[in-house]
């Protein structure tokens, strides 16, 4: 069990609930023992996270899969407006009028429109550009000293790709990344919420201005296409369009960025698995599914709330309660996956079974794009730098410590891309003592 302070409850289940609520560093480094205990002792656990709204956490695979598709558990946070404002603040509302935070029929309408951006032809057309961005980023990484792969590679790659898809001008992408970073890492203190509100208001103003610039454009980027659909029946309102840009940008790069980081970290700490991929490159697509299952970047699904009293695994979730579904826990459930704590890139049947991209009506639209980015990123990285290694031991890795997180990811990923180059440089600087 993760170590907590002596002032924490002595009951193991209460300690596990406290760890999951608070997100202490020891728990964030390795949350899996806590989730295992909750699956066994309290598969639906009532928590009081730092945002102050009691939340029911679902941790077993079968319960999680059912809950993700249960129409009694709503994604429409506007219907739970008091809880929403307590957690996120009023400034978030204008950015969350989208398919992620809605139920049918609104969700069905918005998803049908946005789905045009993610048809296979459009995604495949991005492949050469994804490869070009990947090559350029790795060209810029130094081999003469350690490099942090998160800001130099893992984050800019999906950000540049999603900006390319949406139509954000290249010279404006660094500012967009900076604003998104504030939103992704913000906690629940008064100061955190103030920073969150400032970043969200800046993003809202930027998107409104970008929409104005794009009106009348004949280009083929997603934003221009969505603007042109506003003449159709059932089209997006201006507010829905702005909010949709926000969710595509945020969800389309943070999840993939942390996933690239988790993938590199786990492959470098499981060298036998990496060597299997290098020897048999056809294993990579399957390996990506195992990475998503074993240590994916989405720890908890976005907030939901109960539309009526619901009983799951013998626990009553009262009407109006917030519900969180632990994707990380579900994907390590021994009732669904044999030897779930073993990282095995040859594990079969994963694409249709892990919950890393969700399931049901809210299954991730961007899953094909994320898979393509992962394949190109990992193939190119390990082809160019086969001797890449971590700078520090795995147990010293620094993981995100935002309480009750949506994401699981590293805060930094320092690596040596080519150890031989650094050793050669070091040897050349040694004095001649012969």
Tell me which residue of 40, 50, 41 sits closest to 20, measured CA to CA. Answer: 50
CA distances (Å), origin 418, targets 269, 381, 423: 17, 11, 9
**How high is the pLDDT of residue 80?**
64
**How high is the pLDDT of residue 39?**
96
CA distances (Å), origin 199, targets 91, 177, 184: 9, 11, 10
What is the chain's pLDDT, residue by residue, as a tens digit (434 residues)? 333 333 455 577 777 777 766 666 677 788 999 999 999 999 999 987 766 677 899 999 999 999 999 999 999 877 665 665 666 555 556 667 889 889 999 999 999 999 887 888 888 889 999 999 999 999 999 888 999 999 999 999 999 999 999 999 989 988 887 877 776 555 556 676 677 778 878 888 898 999 999 887 778 888 988 888 887 777 898 889 988 988 888 888 889 999 999 999 999 999 999 999 999 999 999 999 999 999 999 999 988 999 999 999 999 999 988 899 999 999 999 999 999 999 999 998 898 899 999 999 999 999 999 999 999 999 999 999 999 999 999 999 999 876 556 889 999 999 999 988 765 554 444 444 43
**How high is the pLDDT of residue 51?**
67
CA distances (Å), origin 131, targets 368, 374, 375, 376: 15, 11, 10, 6
Alpha helices in 356-404 (DSSP H): 367-384
**How high is the pLDDT of residue 433?**
41
- DSSP assignments along 202-269, one per residue: HHHHHHHHHHHHHTT----SHHHHHHHGGGSTTPPPHHHHHHHHHHHHHHHHHHHHHHHHHHHHHHHS
Task: Give 53-90 pLDDT, tens digit per residue.
Answer: 778 999 999 999 999 999 999 998 776 656 656 665 55
Full-model pTM: 0.89
**How high is the pLDDT of residue 15?**
74
Domains of the chain: 92-295+359-428 (1.10.630.10)
**How high is the pLDDT of residue 187?**
56
**How high is the pLDDT of residue 428?**
46
**How high is the pLDDT of residue 175?**
87
């Amino acid at each position: 069990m993760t170590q907590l302070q002596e002032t924490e409850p002595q009951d193991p289940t209460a300690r596990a609930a406290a760890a999951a609520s608070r997100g202490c560093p020891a728990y964030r480094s390795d949350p899996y023992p806590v989730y295992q205990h909750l699956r066994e002792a309290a598969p639906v656990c009532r928590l009081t996270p730092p945002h102050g709204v009691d939340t029911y956490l679902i941790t077993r695979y079968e319960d999680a899969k059912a809950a993700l598709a249960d129409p009694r558990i709503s994604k429409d946070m506007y219907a739970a407006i008091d809880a929403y404002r307590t957690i996120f603040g009023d400034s978030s509302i204008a950015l969350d009028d989208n398919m992620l935070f809605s139920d049918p029929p609104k969700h069905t309408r918005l998803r049908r429109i946005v789905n045009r951006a993610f048809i296979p032809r459009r995604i495949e057309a991005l492949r050469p550009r994804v490869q070009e961005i990947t090559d350029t980023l790795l060209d810029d990484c130094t081999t003469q000293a350690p490099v942090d792969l998160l800001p130099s590679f893992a984050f800019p790659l999906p950000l540049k790709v999603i900006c390319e898809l949406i139509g954000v001008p290249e010279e404006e992408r660094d500012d967009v990344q900076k604003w998104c970073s504030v939103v992704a890492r913000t906690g629940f203190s008064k100061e955190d919420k103030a920073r969150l509100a400032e970043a969200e208001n800046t993003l809202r103003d930027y998107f409104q201005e970008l929409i104005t610039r794009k009106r009348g454009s004949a280009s083929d980027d997603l934003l221009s296409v969505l603007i042109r659909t506003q003449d159709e029946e059932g089209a997006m309102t201006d507010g829905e369009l702005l909010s949709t840009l926000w969710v595509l940008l945020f969800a389309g790069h943070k999840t993939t960025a942390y996933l690239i980081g988790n993938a590199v970290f786990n492959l470098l700490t499981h060298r036998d698995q990496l060597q299997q991929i290098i020897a048999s490159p056809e294993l990579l697509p399957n390996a990506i599914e195992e990475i998503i299952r074993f240590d994916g970047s989405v720890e908890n699904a976005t907030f939901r709330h109960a539309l009526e009293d619901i009983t799951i695994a013998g626990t009553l979730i009262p009407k109006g309660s917030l519900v969180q579904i632990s994707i990380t826990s579900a994907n390590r459930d021994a009732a669904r996956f044999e030897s779930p704590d073993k990282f095995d890139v040859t594990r079969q049947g994963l694409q249709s079974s892990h919950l890393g991209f969700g399931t049901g009506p809210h299954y991730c639209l961007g899953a094909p794009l994320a898979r393509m980015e992962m394949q190109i990123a990992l193939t190119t990285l390990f082809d160019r730098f086969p001797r890449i290694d971590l700078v520090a031991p795995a147990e010293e890795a620094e993981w995100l410590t935002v309480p009750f997180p949506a994401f699981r990811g590293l805060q930094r990923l320092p690596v040596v891309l080519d150890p031989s180059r650094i050793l050669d440089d070091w040897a050349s600087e040694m004095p001649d003592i012969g």
